[in-house]
């Protein structure tokens, strides 16, 4: 475990002196800000319309929270996760520090976990910087805080899964640029599948629970079910395991 800790600590130190990391954080906050603005304006319009119609019910602010922490945040990840993937395994290989890590007396699993948790830490930092937006809405809109809390958990798990995809992609190449594009490609496939699956006749609804997006919206509803938890954790673990197998197999080539 101390090896994971060592790699993790170095990762964090290195992330927070790199322009790439700040670019990713800035991009994330920018997208979230625009999203927040758009959702607020949309809410304002429906509220005004409702105020003019005595029969209509006043809309709640839940949609804003659901939007920010549900389906829309996926698009923000499509930009920042490939950026972060550029500082993962391909980067170590490109600057020849992989030799240091791979000749240390630790297993590849330690290395993969250390790198993964380092990226997750950056993700947590980003979310911490953005979370005030839906929080403000929930607090002054007197809405139920449950969807906010479970939504944050969902975004965290969803982001971690995407970072695991990025780590896998970055283990396949020696160029950081390629790692970024490969991550983008993998994520695009996941997204397209996520969009198409619900449209499959008859079984679409049932298949949706196997997509990351489907599980994310389950959590955004405000209930922490075991199904999405098990789904995200097991998928992430599987990807990390595959990554460490890939890195090990490269040692044997």
Partner 1 sequence: MTSTSTSASAGGGSASPVPPGRPRQSMIEIDQLHKFYGPFEALKGISFTVRSGEVVGFLGPNGAGKSTTMKIMTGLMPPTRGSVSIAGHDVLDEPLEVRRAIGYLPEIPPLYPEMTVRDYLSFAAELRGVPRARRRRAVDLALERCGLTHMAQRLVGNLSKGYRQRTGLAQAVIHEPRVLILDEPTVGLDPTQVIEIRGIVRELGEERTVILSSHVLPEVQATCHRVVIINRGLVVADGPMDELLSRESHGGVVASLRRPPEELDPLRQLTAVRQVQRLGEQEFRFFLEPGDDVRERFVAGLANSGYGLIEVRAETATLEEVFRDVVLEEVPA
Within positions 165 to 224, which residues make up the interface with partner 1, using CB under 8 A? none
Q: Is 2 in the site for partner 1 (CB under 8 A)?
A: yes
When binding is defined by CB under 8 A, the residue of 54, 140, 203, 252 that contacts partner 1 is 252
- State the alpha helices, DSSP H only, in the chain: 2-15, 19-52, 62-69, 73-85, 89-94, 98-102, 108-130, 132-140, 146-171, 176-196, 204-207, 212-220, 226-251
d(CA 148, CA 127): 12
CA separation (Å) from 67 to 141, 168, 172? 15, 29, 34
Alpha-carbon separation of residue 144 from 64, 183, 199, 215, 216 (angstroms): 12, 36, 31, 20, 18
- The answer to whether 100 contacts partner 1 (rule: CB under 8 A) is yes
User: Residue 5 CB, nearest distance to partner 1 (Å)?
Assistant: 8
Closer by beta carbon to partner 1, 10 or else 221: 10
Tell me: does residue 23 bind partner 1 (CB under 8 A): no
**Rounded to whole angstroms, how far apart are CA atoms 185 and 97?**
26
Report in angstroms how near the CB of residue 149 gets to partner 1 at its nearest: 36
Q: Which of 3, 121, 135, 181 binds partner 1 (CB under 8 A)?
A: 3
Which region, judged by CB under 8 A, interacts with partner 1, from 98-106, 148-156, 213-221, 223-231? 98-106
Binders of partner 1 among residues 103 to 122 (CB under 8 A) are: 103-107
Residues lying near partner 1 in the complex (CB under 8 A) are found at 2-3, 6-7, 9-10, 13-14, 17-18, 95-107, 251-253
């Amino acid at each position: 475990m101390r090896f994971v800790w060592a790699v993790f600590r170095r990762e964090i130190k290195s992330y927070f002196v790199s322009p790439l990391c700040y670019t990713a954080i800035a991009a994330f906050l920018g997208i979230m800000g625009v999203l927040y603005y758009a959702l607020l304006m949309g809410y304002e319009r429906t509220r005004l319309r409702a105020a003019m119609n005595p029969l209509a019910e006043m809309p709640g602010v839940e949609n804003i929270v659901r939007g920010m922490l549900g389906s829309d945040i996926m698009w923000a990840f499509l930009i920042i996760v490939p950026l972060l993937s550029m500082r993962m395994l391909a980067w170590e290989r490109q600057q020849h520090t992989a030799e240091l890590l791979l000749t240390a007396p630790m297993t590849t699993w330690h290395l993969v976990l250390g790198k993964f948790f380092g990226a997750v830490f950056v993700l947590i930092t980003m979310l911490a910087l953005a979370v005030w937006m839906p929080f403000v809405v929930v607090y002054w809109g007197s809405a139920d805080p449950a969807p906010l809390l479970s939504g944050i958990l969902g975004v965290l798990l969803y982001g971690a899964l995407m970072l695991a995809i990025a780590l896998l992609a970055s283990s396949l190449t020696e160029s950081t640029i390629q790692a970024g594009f490969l991550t983008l490609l993998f994520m695009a496939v996941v997204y397209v599948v996520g969009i198409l699956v619900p449209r499959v006749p008859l079984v679409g609804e049932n298949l949706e629970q196997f997509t990351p997006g489907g599980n994310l919206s389950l959590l955004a509803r405000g209930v922490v079910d075991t199904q999405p938890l098990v789904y995200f954790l097991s998928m992430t673990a599987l990807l990390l395991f595959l990554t460490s197998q890939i890195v090990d197999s490269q040692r044997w080539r």
